[in-house]
Each structure stands twice: as C-alpha cells, then as structure tokens.
Structure 1
Amino acid sequence: MTLHHLRPELFWNTIGSHRPVLTIASGDTVVAETIDAHGFDATGRQRGMRPNPMSGPVFIAGAEPGDCLLVRIGEIRMTSTTGWTYDVLSPTVLDPQAVPRLPERRKTSWLIDAANNRARLAEPPVALAEWSVPIEAMIGCFGVAPDLGQAISTATSGRHGGNMDYRGFRAGTEAMFPVAVPGGLFFLGDVHAQQGDGEIVGTGIETAAEVNFSIEVIKGRKIGWPRGRTAEEIFTIGNARPLDQALQHATTEMLDWITTEHGLDAVAASHVMGQLVRYDVANVFNPAYSVACRMPRSALP
C-alpha cells in the first residue's frame, strides 16, 4: 500500500472523463488538498472557480465498468481558520408566503477554531454573540466519472455521486460508487466544517481542508447509486428532483443491496425495511435533491 499526496494545480467544475492527475493501486491512500466552494485555498488565494471546484481525478488501476469503488474516508483536517455561509434560509424550504419576510441574502464569514473544535460567526447578531457550533467535517461533493462521456456540473448530483451534501460522509465512513469508465476517475472537494440536514441556507460552513482517504476496487460488484456504511449502519443515496424520486432511488438501492448481499428475499427485506429504515433529507437546495436511506447493520444477516 502506497501513500500519495494530491496537490492540484487545476480544479474541475465538472465530474467527467478528464485527464487523471494521479494514478494509484487498489488499496492505496491519498492525502488530498481541497479548496472551498468558491475556489479559495487556505491562504485566501482563489485557485478555482465556483461551483465546488474538485481535486482530481484519481485513476485507480484495475477499476473497470461494473466494478465498485470503496472509498474509506479518514481524517478531514481544516486547513483554513475561516469559512463562510449564506445568512438566510433558502426559499426552497419555506412556504412561498414566508419568502418576502427574508432580508436580502448575504455571504457571511465564520471563524474556525480547529484546536477547540468550534466554529462561530465572525460578526454575529446580538442574540448569537456567545453562540458557536462544533466542527463536524464532511465532504459535500465527491464521486466518479459518469458513463457516455458525460461531464456533469459539480453543482448537482446523480448516480455517479457529485454534490450530495450529505453530512454522513465524514471521517470513518466508507462510501461506495459505481465504476462507469476505466480507472473510475475519482474526484472530491467542497468540504464543510459543519452543515445541518438539507443544506437549507444553500451552504454548509464552506472552507479549505485536507482529506485523507483510501480507495479499494471491488471487482464485479455492480451498484446503481452511491452507498455508504459506518460501524452501526449502511445507507444508500438517491439524487433527483422531485424529492420523492430521490427517495425512490435510495429505497430501491437499499432493497437491491440487502436482497443481493444479505440473503433476504423481497418479502423478508420489506419486513425489515418497513420497520427499521430511517431517512435523512441530505440536500434540498441543489438542482438534484438528495435523500439517504439508512438501516442498522445489526438488523441484517
């Protein structure tokens, strides 16, 4: 197993079959620099363009269409002492008659205190003068090149992954992506120091970071949508609009997973899912919404 360092000179605003900047073997580890969603690095220099400039792609030797990439997310380290969000809720999460009550949307700065694992507003409203949030770093956008020669904007998501903004993609999580092109061509970026479910102000706390991850090729494991697992749960992600279609994709992928790999037929799987499934609304801001379907690992054979 080899350790690689990815320090990009070029960042991509699409996930597609771009020329790889790094080739690794299955099982290798990568430490990758990422910049924030508007392209600023840890020094405040703009090195990429919005939306969500990606580091990569990484070519994984031996990965072929029909395989699966297993990405083990290690440490996500904040490299900047600042981040930013927007300051009011997105109109997409409010009743239409409530939208005019909102002030004009503005970009707002945050201070990131990695030593104490807290983030706070740089210029808080009076009511939030002593308020802060814990740092719970996550990867907002990552995935693999889609098929048919597509290059898909990093503003959105699909079967290939992309801008899912699911807070479950954090250190210790294993993510899985369907390989559609030789080498997989893996991209990542858009790290958030914190984000609530749904990304309902249109951002998490956007910042620059360094992400440690490893990638393993699982030969012949064909999956339809991104998957994940933690020590306690497995989950699937559906990406689409409207929201119910994203939920349908996530639920179908979970049904496929536990019937093909856990020995349950459709009836047994339906009983287990019907009582134990939990859903997370991962994102309701992006062009494609994202829903996570979760199951406890203890419930599965």
Structure 2
Amino acid sequence: MTADTQDLGPYGRMYELAPDATMTGSVVPGREFTVHTLDSSGGQIRADVDYGDLDASKFFPVVGPVEVVGVEPGDVVEIEILDMDLDPLAHTWTRPGLGLLGQDRFAVMAVDTATLELRPGGPGTPVLAAAQPKAHVGALGLLTDSVEPARTLGHYGGNIDFSAVGVGAKVWITASVPGGGFFIGDVHATIGDGEVCGTGAETGASVSLRLNRLVGVGSILPTVEDIDGRLWVIGVGASVEEALQEATAYCVARVADQADIGKDEAYLSVGLLLNVKVCQVVNPRTSVAVSLDGGLDRVLRVAASAHVNV
C-alpha cells in the first residue's frame, strides 16, 4: 500500500470531529476489523515537494467516525491494537509556525520504515543514526460533545502521540455520543519525546483493531496499557505543566481511593513514584502520559462492572 492510497474499505475519512457527524460504517464489539490510514499530510508530503504546492485542507485526515454497535454515552470503549502494516516510506517534516523552535523554513526528510535509518542527505547518503522502533497510532479516540479539529486532543482521545500506543496496547476512552464514533489516524513509524519539530516519522498504515464495550466504569482519563502491561493515563492541557497537573491529580485521587489512604499520603506517595513521558508539545493542547512505579500503576486499571459485547 502506498502513502497516497484512497482505499478506505467501508469507512470514510474526516478532518473535523463533530458530535452529529454521520457514522461511515459500524463494527460489532469483540470482532476484529482493519482500517487504512493516510499519513498526517494526507499523502502529500515527498522529499521534493514545495510547501506552496500542498493543500492544507487535506492535512490530518482520520478514518471514521465508526459506530461501535450498542455503545451509549458514559460507556467506556476498550481499543485493542492487534497489528499494524506500515507503508514502506515515512516522512518527518516541519514548516514555518510548526514545532518548538519557531522554524522559518519548510523541511522534509524521508525515513525507511523498515530500517529507520536517518539519512539527512537523502537516499544513498551516509547514515546519521538509526531511530528506535516505536511504531504507534498517534491519533485515536471517540467523538466528543463539541466540534474539534481532528488534529487536537482531549478526554475523548485524539492526537495524543504516545509512542506506547502500538501493537499489543490497549486504550480506554469514555464515549460521549451514541455509537461512540471511533476514529483513527496519524500513524508514526517512530517519534521522539515531545514531537518537537511538529511531526514524527509520518506514514500510512493498515491497522487491525478490536473494540469492546465496558459499562459501569465511572469517570476516567484516557488510559493506556502498554505491551508490557504497564498502565498510563493521559493528561491534557494548554501547557506541559497543566497537562501534568491534570494527570497527577487523577493519580492522587486513584491512589487515595483504591489504597484507602488520605489524600495527603496519596500525594506524597505519587510524588515519589510518578513516571512521566512527554507526548507532544507542539499543538495548542499538549499531552503527557504518566504512570506510577513500584507496581502502584495497578490503581490506574480500568475496572468495569460489565464487559458487554454483542
């Protein structure tokens, strides 16, 4: 599959998340299905392209919204990432106004998704380094009760850019609309912490998934279980500090509740055990993933009174 494929299977593509968006297909909880994503440029980026030739309205396409049969607002959808088949080539790129350092030029570098070798001079030139394999889904979630650009994020998921969301991972998100309205896109072959230039190794992919419906969970932040079984929660805010405050407060509340200790003791414990990964710092809303060392990440587990599949 090439990066500019338009093969959607039964599902559509969108650039804006709206609570009343028409579902483009449906999936039955518990059954595997596959979606085909474009890279975050909409298949437009190449090493020889001029920025003026790009259509910004086609940036950041996501597949969806997909109805999850039986899901109601307040239910939690468990998203299992079963497999990913990446396109052969990825591109990392930046432009004026994008990224942490205030870039004033458009720049592109191609990356082979199999080797992840960085060749700043182009194919056939010396290798600067090889990136770590971190194939993952950058954006996934459920429709929220407000209109949002597909490239942003919140408690409904979205563009969280957490590199642990790869094959073998699970993600739990609370539904806001009937049917959930699952969406997915922005696959990366690898990424550095913070996505500081504005992109990872952006590529198209075929992603195999399974969605499950959980009821009786209660209020949660987006929660991730990585391939090693470690649990993380995603904090979102207008700054890294604000995102970290949200995630830390959530951890303190969970420790206090599940360990049956006072909030002060829970806060002090979290202060010694907190593990933080900066996900992305380049959008108006930033994201961090936090976990707890010493096995205390167990308090972040999503527990349901019922696991309901049709």
TM-score (norm 1): 0.82
The answer on whether the counterparts of 1:34 and 1:41 sit within 8 Å (CA) in structure 2 is: no
The answer on whether the counterparts of 2:134 and 2:164 sit within 8 Å (CA) in structure 1 is: no
Q: How far apart, in 2, do the equivalents of 1:88 and 1:126 lie?
A: 25
Shift of 1:250: 1.4
Amino acid paired to 1:187: F
Q: Find the counterpart in structure 1 of residue 35 from structure 2.
A: 32
Q: Find the counterpart in structure 2 of residue 14 from structure 1.
A: 16
Structure 1 segment 133-152 matched on structure 2, within 5 A = 133-147=131-145, 150-152=146-148
Q: How far apart, in 2, do the equivalents of 1:123 and 1:158 lie?
A: 38
TM-score (norm 2): 0.80
Shift of 1:184: 0.9
Q: SS of the residue aligned with 1:58?
A: strand
Shift of 1:8: 5.6
Q: Does 1:74 align with 2:82?
A: yes
Quick check: 192-201 or 134-143, which moved more? 134-143
Q: SS of the residue aligned with 2:291?
A: strand
Q: SS of the residue aligned with 1:251?
A: helix
Shift of 1:146: 0.7
- In structure 1, which of residues 237, 249, 255 is the aligned counterpart of residue 246 of structure 2? 249
Q: How far apart, in 2, do the equivalents of 1:259 and 1:172 lie?
A: 30
Unaligned runs of 5+ in 1: none
- Alignment coverage as a number of residue pairs: 283
Amino acid paired to 1:282: C
Q: How far apart, in 1, do the equivalents of 2:94 and 2:140 lie?
A: 25
Q: Find the counterpart in structure 1 of residue 273 from structure 2.
A: 276
The answer on whether the counterparts of 1:86 and 1:201 sit within 8 Å (CA) in structure 2 is: yes
Structure 1 segment 166-205 matched on structure 2, within 5 A = 166-205=162-201
Alpha carbons of 1:197 and 1:89: their partners in 2 closer, same or farther (altered >3 Å)? farther
Q: SS of the residue aligned with 1:201?
A: coil
Alpha carbons of 1:221 and 1:6: their partners in 2 closer, same or farther (altered >3 Å)? farther
Q: Find the counterpart in structure 1 of residue 282 from structure 2.
A: 285
Quick check: 223-232 or 277-286, which moved more? 223-232
Quick check: 126-135 or 158-167, which moved more? 126-135
Shift of 1:26: 1.9
Q: Percent identity of the aligned residues? A: 26
Structure 1 segment 27-176 matched on structure 2, within 5 A = 27-40=30-43, 49-79=57-87, 81-86=88-93, 93-94=100-101, 104-114=104-114, 117-121=115-119, 123-124=121-122, 129-147=127-145, 150-176=146-172
Unaligned runs of 5+ in 2: 1-6, 47-53, 300-310
Shift of 1:126: 11
What do you get for the CA RMSD once the two structures are aligned?
A: 3.3
Q: Find the counterpart in structure 2 of residue 208 from structure 1.
A: 204
